[in-house]
Amino acid sequence: MLTQYDALPPGLLDLPAARLSEVLPGPSLIHLPGRHTPPLFVSVLLHGNEDTGWLAAQSVLKKYAAAELPRALSLFIGNVAAARSGLRRLDGQPDYNRVWPGSEEAHPAELAMMQQVVDAMRARGVFASIDIHNNTGLNPHYACVNRLDSTFLHLATLFSRIVVYFIRPRGVQSAAFAELCPAVTVECGKPGTPGSVEHAAAFMEACLHLSEFPPHPVAPHDVDLFHTVATVKVPEQVSFGFAAPDADIDFVPELDHFNFRELMHGDRLGRVRAGSPARLQALDENGKDIGDRLFDYRQDEITLRRPLMPAMLTRDERVIRQDCLCYLMERIKTPE
């Protein structure tokens, strides 16, 4: 269940993510005063193995240990139990970034907890929301939004000129907070990547210093904007691997090097074992499988039917099973 604090618990800023359970009983929402209100909302560790957000928050809060924050801050620390084990989520747990208001999943306890977080921030008012993540494949730092609104894009481009617009999967933190304020998810590459913590901390501090959002649209030359058209999954009954000739699907070993590369029609992703009916699933924004429009399987090779850009391709088989293989995107124009 959610625990709320009006001050930092003693010793919290001295602990790595794996030891937060020594101080926190579980998911925790910490409200801290600042010079300006309403507060900035920051969520970290929705996935327990993604610690860049926590390390960035630690860095910022240590800097202001003896000084007033530029703006009030509400910090949500999510899956403390999974962080103790260094895992995205524990077996039997839902994904903490799929159970926010608007979720299609049936996890009543976690849904109620995330609703409690949203309700608490609605009552306080909230200036902006940032959700800090890592990913498991080779990706640049980029931001994600759920609305093509100028305030959301201004917030996103404070972090990166690469911005991804998506409305699926449902139940993500940024979509829930989009009902309250400008909201963004930031992806900071793999955990431990040099410069990731510093980048996330600088973004967090920039948001704390921000007084308002510019009234004008983001200039097209300041953003590379992409739209997620499909979430690609490997069906549960299908075996897969990398350089695994006996698997139903054998992906090319360098698959995660394709992230944020604009792939062409005919580019190869892997192969299907001869005689196997295995196919990739590609869910569009309405949850419809459009895999037959995106992938070709002639001569048992998996190739693209149209130019697309993948994101979050990973070789981590556990993550692929728990979440997805990747997202496929297309470039779109910046709203005027």
Quick check: 283 pLDDT over 90? Answer: yes
In the predicted model, what is the mean pLDDT of residues 44-53? 98
- Same domain? For 213 and 263 the reply is no
In the predicted model, what is the mean pLDDT of residues 28-47? 98
- Tell me the C-alpha distance between 70 and 258, whole Å: 40
pTM of the model: 0.94
Domain span at 123: 3-222
- Same domain? For 167 and 258 the reply is no
Residue 136 has a pLDDT of 87
324 domain-assigned: yes
- Same domain? For 93 and 149 the reply is yes
Residue 244 has a pLDDT of 95
The DSSP secondary structure of 289-300, one letter per residue, reads B-HHHHEE-GGG
Of 182, 200, 222, the one marking the end of a domain is 222
- Same domain? For 117 and 186 the reply is yes
Which CATH number characterizes residue 77's domain? 3.40.630.10
The DSSP secondary structure of 276-319, one letter per residue, reads -----EEE-TTS-B-HHHHEE-GGGEEEESS-BEEES----HHH
- Same domain? For 205 and 287 the reply is no
Number of structural domains the chain divides into: 2
- Same domain? For 155 and 273 the reply is no
98-122: pLDDT as tens digits: 999 999 999 999 999 999 999 999 9
- Same domain? For 277 and 301 the reply is yes
Angle at the Cα of 331 from the Cα atoms of 326 and 334, rounded to 5 degrees: 130
Nearest to 151 by CA among 128, 174, 185, 124: 128
Helix 196-209 / helix 52-63 crossing angle, nearest 10 deg? 50
Residue 158 has a pLDDT of 98
- Tell me the C-alpha distance between 187 and 184, whole Å: 10
- Same domain? For 260 and 309 the reply is yes
Length of the chain: 336
Residue 243 gets which letter from DSSP?
Answer: S
- Tell me the C-alpha distance between 66 and 262, whole Å: 47
- Tell me the C-alpha distance between 307 and 125, whole Å: 42
Residue 137 has a pLDDT of 86
- Same domain? For 246 and 177 the reply is no
Of 222, 245, 268, the one marking the end of a domain is 222
Mean pLDDT taken over the chain: 97
- Same domain? For 114 and 218 the reply is yes
68 domain-assigned: yes
Quick check: 282 pLDDT over 90? Answer: yes
Quick check: 54 pLDDT over 90? Answer: yes
Residue 252 has a pLDDT of 97
Tokens matching residue 315:
């070789």
Residue 275 gets which letter from DSSP?
Answer: T
Q: 301-304 and 295-296: which strand pairing?
A: antiparallel
119-167: pLDDT as tens digits: 999 999 999 999 999 998 899 999 999 999 999 999 999 999 999 999 9
Quick check: 336 pLDDT over 90? Answer: no
195-216: pLDDT as tens digits: 999 999 999 999 999 999 999 9
Nearest to 103 by CA among 168, 24, 184: 168
Rg over CA atoms, the chain: 20
- Same domain? For 146 and 281 the reply is no
300-333: pLDDT as tens digits: 999 999 999 999 999 999 999 999 999 999 999 9
- Same domain? For 283 and 180 the reply is no
